[in-house]
């Protein structure tokens, strides 16, 4: 039974609804998690109501020309076959009476009841026809098997009768008996055995060979010739030895380097520190600098994908001008396919994961299908504009990412603001943690570092060096300790010392390493941090989808609390090494729904900035 059917505009105005009250908010979740995230090309959406409520399945349809959305909701346990047919019928009938100036459509109640009855009747007829076809197919198989068994029994009885007759009369009856046996054998699918077979024994041919059979003697005659050629070729190859490449000595510049590279603690012969490096000013962080993006659109000619369509003739000047002025009636899938194919290839060259590019193109096609093409516009430019709007919606954060405001709010409550840095190996978690610490210190926020990477050798010393250079306290317990306990003690220490922020460094781990993922889940569940940052490289392509999806999945599966903590934000590192291959940012945001909060773009403490969404979109579509 259908729970609810809802019709509303893309602006959010509800025009008509019918059905029962729903538990939870499945419609709001659909809009927030699917339609606004450019996942509208999917066929259905599953919603689980909180506190053990009902489980719903939602299906939807669009009328892009009128900007209408039709949503049907039913319980997941029911497999309703007529929902898609009903949505198409409702879309067709409602579009005929729709008026943008009206907000109430009470007369549509009777029309909907009639449409629902017709859709249910068609689904019932389809189900009965499938059952009857299946029953007839099963009966046909049984009849065929029974007939085969009876025919086989009759053939065996006749063969036995023929053998008995051949014992009495060897000349006449024996031949006729064998003939009857062979004829029965052919009728029942038994092949006649060949009387003359060619058997090859030790390379000799016994009997007449069959027509088209393989000649073994010819193969044996050809084999030594091939062997000689192979041996000769191998001897020539071994004779010609490759030239040895001698490494040239590197000429070093005798002038000493002005920049200091070693920032470790200076020690004496006993291993005790003898010098304490004071705090140095590295300048203003790039987080506080506004990046200016040129608003002048680059006038690049789009690819003429329409001319590349097979089977289309080049139109004349007059017909092209007339079509541009009048506009096309509606956009169809065949019209959008070439432009979307070119757009998908362009996104993949920018390092966007193939799966993400495919879903984005499907979502854009679903939003444009059935829409009228305006005057003086081409299909390629229309698709480009729709994709640009979709990318802006995806990359724009859906919630506030103002960490400084959240830090002051936590300070008023008398507790430190805890940030946990997680990610795979070698992406730069410790380095970018120090960059975030430097940015916070510049805004007069007291910071404490927690060395919870108790697995990698040198991790504690690395963080200790950063803490000494930035003149911030560090909490450490050495190696081979439980990182969850170390983080809890660090938070307690920060509360006693009135520290505003605790930056927790964790060990790098692959997304498939379950023991380390279990330890990370324990750390997050035990300490309940305010922000979980996933540190990822901007160099990855398809692996970004695998990393983030599995990190979130493991954190959800291994959580011991009902509401599992997942990834809250993304810190994108090594952004200065990718040129225009900025697709990893799009892949990570699309798969996780978490915003990019920081971008690492260098090796110094100031090389940390915000993500410029307009610049990323411009680069992706360039």
Q: Give bridge partners of residue 301 from the DSSP assignment.
A: none
Whole-angstrom distance, CA of residue 580 vs CA of residue 398? 25
Whole-angstrom distance, CA of residue 69 vs CA of residue 61? 6
Least confident of 13-17, 104-108, 202-206, 330-334: 202-206
Q: How many CB atoms lie within 10 A of CB 268?
A: 9
DSSP string, 147-181: HHHHHHHHHHHHHHHHHHHHHH-TTTHHHHHHHHH
Helix or strand (DSSP H, E) at 379: helix 379-395
| CB 448, CB 471: distance < 8 Å | no
Whole-angstrom distance, CA of residue 383 vs CA of residue 361? 9
Least confident of 240-249, 406-415, 553-562: 240-249
C-alpha pair distances (Å), 55 with each of 40, 50, 77, 352, 566: 20, 9, 8, 34, 22
DSSP string, 239-273: HSPPPP-PPPPP----SPPSS----SPPB-TTS-B
Give residue 263's pLDDT.
52
Q: 436-452: per-residue pLDDT in tens? A: 999 999 999 999 999 99
Helix or strand (DSSP H, E) at 7: strand 2-9
Give residue 511's pLDDT.
86
Q: How far is CA 490 from its chain centroid?
A: 37
Using CA of residue 358, residue 361, residue 362, residue 363, what is the dihedral sign? Answer: positive
| CB 59, CB 87: distance < 8 Å | yes
Least confident of 224-233, 254-263, 348-357: 224-233
Left if phi > 0, otherwise alpha if psi is -120 to 50, otherwise beta: which for 498?
left
Give residue 131's pLDDT.
78
Q: 198-240: per-residue pLDDT in tens? A: 444 344 444 444 444 455 565 555 555 444 444 444 444 444 5
Query: Mean pLDDT across the chain, nearest whole number?
Result: 76
3-state secondary structure (DSSP) of residue 599: strand
Give residue 201's pLDDT.
39
Whole-angstrom distance, CA of residue 386 vs CA of residue 331? 13
Give residue 232's pLDDT.
44
DSSP string, 482-550: -HHHHHHHHHHHHHHTT-SEEEEE-----TT-HHHHHHHHHHHHHH--SEEEEEEETT-STHHHHHHHH
Classify residue 472 by burial, with Cβ atoms within 10 Å: 0-12, 13-18, 19+: buried
Q: Which pair of tokens denotes residue 545?
A: 């989808």
Whole-angstrom distance, CA of residue 547 vs CA of residue 536? 9
Q: Alpha helices, DSSP H only, in 98-215?
A: 108-168, 173-187
Give residue 148's pLDDT.
58
Residue 365 φ then ψ, to 5°: -65, -40
Whole-angstrom distance, CA of residue 495 vs CA of residue 419? 15
Q: Give bridge partners of residue 219 from the DSSP assignment.
A: none
Q: Which pair of tokens denotes residue 279?
A: 């705090």
DSSP 288: G
Q: Are strands 596-600 and 569-573 parallel, antiparallel or unpaired?
A: parallel
Q: Are strands 501-505 and 447-451 parallel, antiparallel or unpaired?
A: parallel
Q: Which pair of tokens denotes residue 148?
A: 């085969």
Q: How far is CA 411 from its chain centroid?
A: 38
Q: Is the pLDDT of residue 194 over 50?
A: no
| CB 491, CB 416: distance < 8 Å | yes
Q: How many CB atoms lie within 10 A of CB 411?
A: 17
- Which of the listed ranges 8-22, 59-73, 142-156, 467-481 does the model predict with the highest average pLDDT? 467-481
Q: Which pair of tokens denotes residue 597?
A: 């909060």
Per-residue b or e along 546-563, where b marks 16 or more CB atoms closer than 10 Å to that residue's CB: ebbeebbebbeebbeeee
Tokens 């019932």, residue located: 124
Whole-angstrom distance, CA of residue 336 vs CA of residue 365? 7
Q: Which residue has the higher pLDDT, 59 or 148?
A: 59
Give residue 320's pLDDT.
47
Q: Is the pLDDT of residue 325 over 90?
A: no
Whole-angstrom distance, CA of residue 45 vs CA of residue 282? 50
C-alpha pair distances (Å), 226 with each of 217, 223, 229, 235, 612: 15, 5, 5, 14, 66
Tokens 């000429």, residue located: 251
Q: What is the CA radius of gyration of the chain?
A: 37
Q: Which residue has the higher pLDDT, 329 or 186?
A: 329
Q: Is the pLDDT of residue 346 over 80?
A: yes
Nearest residue to 1 via CA among 91, 116, 107, 95: 116
DSSP string, 405-459: HHHHHHHHTTS-EEEEEE-STTS-HHHHHHHHHHHHHHTT--EEEEE---SSTTH
Whole-angstrom distance, CA of residue 169 vs CA of residue 591? 85
Q: How many CB atoms lie within 10 A of CB 463?
A: 26
- Which of the listed ranges 174-183, 192-201, 232-241, 493-502 does the model predict with the highest average pLDDT? 493-502
Q: Is the pLDDT of residue 28 over 80?
A: yes
- Which residues does 25 contact at the CB level (< 8 Å), separation at least 6? none
pTM: 0.64
Give residue 331's pLDDT.
83
| CB 494, CB 503: distance < 8 Å | no
Q: 109-135: per-residue pLDDT in tens? A: 889 988 988 888 888 888 888 777 777
Count of residues in the chain = 622
Mean pLDDT on 338-347: 91
Left if phi > 0, otherwise alpha if psi is -120 to 50, otherwise beta: which for 114?
alpha
Give residue 249's pLDDT.
65
Whole-angstrom distance, CA of residue 465 vs CA of residue 380? 54
């Amino acid at each position: 039974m259908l729970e609810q059917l809802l019709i509303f505009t893309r602006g959010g105005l509800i025009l008509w609804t019918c059905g029962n009250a729903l538990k939870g908010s499945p419609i709001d979740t659909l809009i927030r998690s699917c339609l606004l995230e450019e996942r509208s090309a999917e066929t259905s959406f599953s919603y689980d109501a909180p506190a053990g409520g009902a489980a719903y399945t939602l299906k939807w349809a669009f009328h892009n020309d009128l900007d209408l959305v039709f949503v049907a909701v039913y319980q997941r346990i029911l497999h309703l076959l007529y929902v898609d047919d009903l949505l198409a019928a409702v879309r067709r009938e409602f579009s005929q009476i729709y008026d943008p100036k009206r907000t109430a459509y009470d007369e549509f109640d009777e029309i909907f009841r009639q449409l629902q009855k017709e859709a249910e009747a068609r689904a019932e007829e389809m189900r009965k026809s499938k059952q009857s076809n299946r029953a007839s197919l099963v009966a046909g198989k049984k009849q065929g098997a029974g007939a085969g068994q009876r025919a086989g029994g009759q053939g065996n009885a006749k063969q036995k009768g023929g053998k008995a007759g051949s014992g009495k009369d060897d000349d006449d009856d024996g031949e006729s008996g064998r003939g009857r046996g062979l004829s029965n054998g052919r009728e029942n699918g038994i092949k006649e055995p060949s009387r003359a077979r060619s058997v090859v024994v030790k390379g000799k041919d016994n009997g007449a060979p069959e027509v088209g059979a393989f000649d073994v003697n010819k193969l044996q005659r050809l084999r030594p010739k091939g062997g000689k050629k192979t041996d000769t070729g191998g001897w020539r190859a071994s004779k010609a030895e490759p030239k040895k490449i001698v490494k040239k000595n590197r000429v070093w510049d005798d002038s000493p380097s002005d920049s200091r590279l070693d920032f470790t603690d200076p020690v004496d012969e006993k291993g005790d520190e003898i010098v304490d490096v004071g705090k140095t000013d590295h300048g203003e962080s790039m987080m506080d600098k506004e990046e200016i993006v040129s608003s002048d659109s680059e006038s690049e000619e789009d690819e003429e994908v329409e001319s590349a369509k097979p089977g289309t003739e080049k139109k004349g000047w007059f017909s092209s001008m007339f079509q541009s002025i009048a506009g096309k009636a509606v956009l169809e899938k065949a019209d959008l396919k070439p432009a979307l194919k070119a757009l998908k290839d362009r996104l993949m060259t920018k390092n966007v994961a193939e799966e993400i590019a495919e879903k984005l193109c499907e979502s854009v096609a679903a939003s444009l299908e059935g829409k009228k093409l305006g005057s003086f516009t081409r299909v390629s430019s229309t698709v480009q504009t729709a994709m640009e709007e979709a990318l802006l919606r995806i990359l724009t954060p859906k919630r506030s990412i103002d960490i400084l405001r959240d830090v002051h709010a936590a300070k008023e409550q008398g507790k430190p603001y805890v940030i946990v840095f997680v990610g795979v190996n070698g992406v730069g978690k410790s380095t970018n943690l120090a960059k975030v610490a430097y940015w916070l210190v510049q805004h007069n926020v007291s910071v404490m570092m927690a060395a919870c990477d108790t697995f990698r050798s040198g991790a504690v010393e690395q963080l200790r060096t950063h803490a000494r250079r930035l003149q911030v306290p560090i909490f450490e317990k050495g190696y081979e300790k439980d990182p969850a306990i170390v983080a809890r003690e660090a938070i307690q220490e920060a509360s006693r010392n009135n520290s505003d922020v605790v930056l927790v460094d964790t060990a790098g781990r692959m997304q498939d390493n379950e023991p380390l993922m279990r330890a990370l889940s324990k750390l997050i569940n035990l300490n309940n941090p305010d922000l979980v940052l996933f540190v990822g490289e901007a160099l990855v392509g398809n692996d970004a989808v695998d990393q983030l999806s599995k990190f979130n999945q493991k954190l959800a599966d291994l959580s011991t609390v009902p509401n599992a903590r997942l990834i809250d934000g993304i810190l994108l590192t090594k952004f200065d090494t990718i040129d225009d291959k900025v697709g990893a940012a799009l892949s990570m945001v699309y798969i996780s729904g978490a915003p990019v909060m920081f971008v690492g773009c260098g090796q110094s403490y100031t090389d940390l900035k915000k993500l410029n969404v307009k610049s990323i979109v411009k680069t992706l579509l360039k």
